[in-house]
Amino acid sequence: MTWGEQTDVPESADWYNSSYIIAWGSNVPQTRTPDAHFFTEVRYKGTKTIAITPDYSEVAKLCDQWLAPKQGTDSALAMAMGHVILKEFHLDNPSNYFINYCRRYSDMPMLVMLEPPRRW
């Protein structure tokens, strides 16, 4: 599940429709106190949660897993995760669902270079 910015459009109640939530750069219990109950309640239905934060924050205490990258390395972690998703779900195992999802809901096609740049 991707819910974008911490205070943006997707409703916290929609977390009930998720089977896996990554809290990355968001400390829900401290910054969204009215919505924190949604985050804890989805765990009762079996939703797996992971916190990606360098410190053992309040959200890390609520999650099933806590991943603590060193400060400044989280962008490399995001790129590595994107690489695995592209490799395993697109290159090695193409699916029409994934291709259509990327075309419709993301800017992913604009981020991939199809041809190597020409030398000057």
Where are the domains positioned within the chain? 12-67, 74-108
Burial 83-99 (b: 16+ CB within 10 A, else e): eeebeebeeeeeeeeee
Query: What are the residues whose beta carbons fall under 8 Å from the beta carbon of 93, sequence distance 6 or more?
Result: none
pLDDT at 1 over 50: no
Q: What is the mean pLDDT of residues 76-89?
A: 87
d(CA 41, CA 22): 15
d(CA 27, CA 60): 8
Quote the pLDDT of residue 14.
82
Per-residue pLDDT of 9-50, as tens digits, reads: 567 878 888 899 998 888 888 888 888 888 889 989 899 999
Statement: the pTM of the whole predicted model exceeds 0.75: no
Spatial contact of 38 and 12, defined as CB atoms under 8 Å apart: yes
CATH homologous superfamily of 12-67: Dimethylsulfoxide Reductase, domain 2 (3.40.228.10)
